[in-house]
Amino acid sequence: MDTRIQNSRISDLLVGQPTAPVQPKKIDAGSVTDFSAILQDRLKVSGHAQTRLQSRNIEFGQAEWNRVLEGVDRAAAKGAKESLVLIDDSALVVSIKNRTVITAVDQQHLKDNVFTNIDSAVIV
């Protein structure tokens, strides 16, 4: 299993998947395996972000991760480097250049928070 993705929910989906590099594929809404391969190839989750996702009980399904990926792609198209991706009641700080989720914040922790070192925000 590739250790680049540290999100346990995503890692669970990848169990039994080949460790060879996976080519990007089109998203098939009915196939979780295809989605796992796409996410593995297009987005990483840092250890810090994984810890925040777990401790704050933030859970994203296939549809939410698709929206995050779309937001990252849109930010990259505009030349962003570090972006705040707002999705439903959560916020993710993402390194667009490295395609890595740096941290995650839920609605309860969004109040009075200041996000620094970002150059863009994407609402998905």
Q: Give the integer Cα–Cα distance in Å for 32 and 37.
A: 9
pTM value?
Answer: 0.69
DSSP 31-58: -HHHHHHHHHHH-EE-HHHHHHHHHTT-
pLDDT in tens, 89-103: 999 999 999 999 999
The percentage of residues in the chain with a pLDDT greater than 70, rounded to a whole number, is 68
Annotated domain spans of the chain = 8-123
Q: Indicate the pairing of strand 82-87 with strand 100-106.
A: unpaired
